[in-house]
Structure 1
């Protein structure tokens, strides 16, 4: 059996992008380690959400641990950086502005402690341009070099698949699908496709564990019928350097 380390920017990113492969690795008998760069301090925070004296970072850390339990995570670590947000991108003291070498050394120490076989990061675009996601790619890639972790999978979104999902959601909501920029990766550039359809209900439960971040918009996902949810979230996609063209892998831990 091996060890999978999955590196993410904020609580709940792990669930949406890699929740299925985390639970699959657990079910297959592997050790699963989740590392979060931040506590998601700049997430959704409507009036009345928090108790007196509670911070959003506190709440999201608790939710992250609950979701990690659902996904079969054996160890959860926070690197201790501050959420950059989208509007705050470029401000000092955030993960986006952290020294890559310093952050990579922190992650590399965990990779060495765990004798990690596999590391997941995001693609170089951060999937949709989130500055912290882009930094996860930079830091994670460098950490793997420092620790000698040779199998690095870049989590991404299948562009064609997400467009199909958006059409389904727009139809369910009774709205026109708005025009917007393409994000994710064209299917022809993907190298790994993992069938996680057996674990989608774990993904849904983990999403619901991040209760503070369930917005009126996100209920479009969390309230989907089981078969539709499985169709939308039952496959997770990755890129690994040196693989392809086309899908050449279907299991991160093979």
Structure 2
């Protein structure tokens, strides 16, 4: 039975890092996948060469549509809030998503969920992964929107914190890896593995995930140094498949169990 999944993100390129494999897998298995971003990402980091080409937000929306095509998404929407910037470098923009009334924003998203008759909504964990204000707001707004629309399954897209730190301990000393990739920086980010309910195998969809990342070319570099997308895209394909071949979620209202679930639609099929 085909279902509809709506994946809600803060900015273009967020879908590529946390959910691209899951979205590609769902689309390939015949489900309807809808990609929604709160902002066009106008306050994102980019090189001076990219910024000289024109408004960053316009370019990033075009990149979002290219990413969505690579993943097989059926629809792409932007809620048109302004990018809030980082916690330590706020954009100061009027209409910033992080400053929006959560109920107003949730109402807009809920209308889309109702229109699509969404079965599954993906948001972020309560910490917004690594604490970006817009990501935290995605959790608040998305959770409330699902309640308003009656969307039955809400999944927090996250990362197994313990595994992430293990990988960073292995690679942070390598040449070219930014200093802020130090494991200590991620000690309180993303999800405690004991909360995780789903580990989705997306190795088969690694090429689509890589294409999604490649679509966001404006975010692959900056004058201040190398960025995550740039580093990941330069990994040899077998290593990329190994490191990026699984995606993690926490389902609201479902007690964690073992083994972890490999199907984001399991909650619809088993009624839990």
Q: In the alignment, is the contact (CA less than 8 A) between 1:66 and 1:209 conserved in 2? A: yes
Instruction: Tell me the equivalent position of 1:13.
Output: 14
Instruction: Tell me the equivalent position of 2:123.
Output: 121
| 1:30 counterpart = 2:31 | yes
Question: Displacement, 1:181?
Answer: 4.2
TM-score normalised per structure 1: 0.94
Q: In the alignment, is the contact (CA less than 8 A) between 1:6 and 1:120 conserved in 2? A: yes
Question: Displacement, 1:90?
Answer: 7.3
User: 2-side partners of 1:164 and 1:208: how far apart?
Assistant: 26
User: 2-side partners of 1:185 and 1:76: how far apart?
Assistant: 27
RMSD: 1.8
Question: Displacement, 1:91?
Answer: 6.1
| 1:253 counterpart = 2:258 | no
CA distances 1:106-155 after superposition (whole Å, capped 9, x unpaired): 10111011110100000111011110000000000010011000100011
Instruction: Tell me the equivalent position of 1:203.
Output: 209
Instruction: Tell me the equivalent position of 1:67.
Output: 67
Within a 5 Å distance, the mapping from 1:49-128 to structure 2 comes to 49-50=50-51, 54-86=54-86, 87-88=89-90, 92-128=94-130
TM-score normalised per structure 2: 0.88
User: 1-side partners of 2:42 and 2:76: how far apart?
Assistant: 17
Q: Where does structure 1 lack aligned partners over 5 or more consecutive residues?
A: none
Question: Displacement, 1:64?
Answer: 0.5
Name which of 238, 244, 261 aligns with 1:227. 238
Question: Displacement, 1:159?
Answer: 0.6
Task: Look up the SS of the partner of 1:173 in the other structure.
Answer: coil
User: 2-side partners of 1:202 and 1:171: how far apart?
Assistant: 29
Q: Where does structure 2 lack aligned partners over 5 or more consecutive residues?
A: 267-272
Task: Look up the SS of the partner of 1:180 in the other structure.
Answer: helix
Task: Look up the SS of the partner of 2:7 in the other structure.
Answer: strand
Q: In the alignment, is the contact (CA less than 8 A) between 1:189 and 1:246 conserved in 2? A: no
